[in-house]
Chains A and B, each alone.
Chain A
Amino acid sequence: MTNAFIALDYTDLALAALLILLNGGLSLWLGLGLERQLGVATLRMCVQLGLMGLVLKVLFDIVSPWLTLTAALVMVLFAGYEIRARQDTRLRGWWSYGLGAGAILFAGGLVAIFALTLLVQPDPWYHPRYVIPLLGMILGNAMTGIAVGLNNLTDRMRRERSAIETMLALGETRVAAFRPAMRAAVRAGLIPIVNSMSAAGIVFLPGMMTGQILSGIDPVEAIKYQVMIMFLLAGGTGLGVVAAVQVAALLLSDNRQRLRLDRLAVD
């Protein structure tokens, strides 16, 4: 048995892409109307990952803290954009973007720096080979959690407006009146990562660990990495969701502790 890494050639990728064609065929056969979306998503993924490959190659060759920081910021900015795009109801104005981007910058930055300086400790600590993949995984999960959490909060605030305003009218503080909606929103944001931790190793093998095993790393080492990554993902998602929901709740009230749904852009 060999531990050698098996490199793929482009014929392998083309063969794998047949599965996408199969999906397209199924969509046509079942009248799902998904062919166009599937095609665009496939193309986007190939182009985005291709570009990322080129960027990573340059970053790995140069190993500059400023270039790494720039790449990390670009990732954060796109994550913020993605969070905004996933909101059914957004805050008006700049906050529609700034809230998600700010929360993910705070949580992703903090957890990534913690991992790089205290856990993995690459030399130098800003080495892009570690910064970019770690940050990417943390941002990916935090982004989903924050988007779900914020969506849940604004949805609840609107649906439960009458209950919230009744509590406020009785003289409750906004903290007390918003608490049920905030709790539910944070729970909704955290459930995907909690489920993911519960199912890891039994229902599915996480991608990073699978990648390491495929590249010839000892499975025990790969699992140790994966466990650390899961902790980082849970930490980043938790911090991000709590920060985003807290700030959103503040933005949806004012200094007189009123509910300000007029700050949501409702079509």
Chain B
Amino acid sequence: MLRIRGLTRPGLAPVDLDLADAEATALLGPSGAGKTLLLRAIADLDPNEGDLRLDDASRDSMPGPAWRRRVTYLAAEPGWWAVRAAEHFPDPAAGRALLPSLGLPEATMERRVAELSTGERHRLALARVLVQEPRTMLLDEPTSGLDQDTVKAVETVLRARVEAGLALLFSTHDEELARRLARRIVRIRAGRLLEAAA
């Protein structure tokens, strides 16, 4: 269980939110409402204040990298630092095994990142997070720019991970996806979390 109390940063009013294990929560709101600010603050990627606890461990009790390995954020437009896909994976074999479930051929691992389409890069980045098996995942628009079949594939993979115990918080503009995948939907507007519906 990730327990968030009074999480705030410039542009974000204090947020209280619980992310339970084996539960997906969707974060909805118009562009510029603060979805990315909130996800980045939870991952401690920007200066922020608040009391965050993963089970009984306070965020302040562990170094930033240790927190982010447990509570991992994936940006809507993730970055790449090497030429080939495989070079971004600590264990390329584990990544390769995951790719077919995300609708990507295993050979994608040997391709140059610059040659991949936006949708392929998106799923590759998701695989990169999934191989690390974090306790909590914070996904910023994980299905934007994907076709319907690919959205289904991503959804299936995420659902399986949630059933296996993952706490998932994802932002999206797709209300249908939010209803299908998430047990809870929270909305954000002008940097303020509005409601938490079951």
Contacts and interface: CB of A to CB of B under 8 A. Distances in A.
Interface of A: 160-173, 180, 254, 256-260
Interface in B66-109: 66, 68-70, 72-75, 77-81
Interface string B107-140: 0000000000000000001001100100000000
Interface of B: 43-47, 63-66, 68-70, 72-75, 77-81, 125, 128-129, 132
Given A170-B72, A171-B66, 7 more contacts: A163-B80, A164-B79, A165-B45, A167-B79, A170-B132, A180-B81, A257-B65
A168 B47 contact: no
Q: Which one of A160, A172, A173, A257 has the greatest number of beta carbons of chain B within 10 Å?
A: A257
A119 B31 CA distance: 66
A258 B65 contact: no
B100 to A, nearest CB: 22
A241 to B, nearest CB: 22
Q: Which one of A161, A254, A256 has the greatest number of beta carbons of chain B within 10 Å?
A: A256
29 contacts: A160-B79, A161-B79, A162-B75, A162-B77, A163-B80, A163-B81, A164-B79, A165-B79, A166-B75, A166-B80, A166-B81, A167-B81, A168-B45, A168-B65, A169-B45, A169-B72, A169-B74, A169-B75, A170-B69, A170-B72, A170-B128, A171-B132, A173-B65, A254-B47, A256-B63, A257-B64, A258-B44, A258-B47, A259-B45
Contacts of B66: 171
A162 B40 CA distance: 13
A241 B183 CA distance: 53
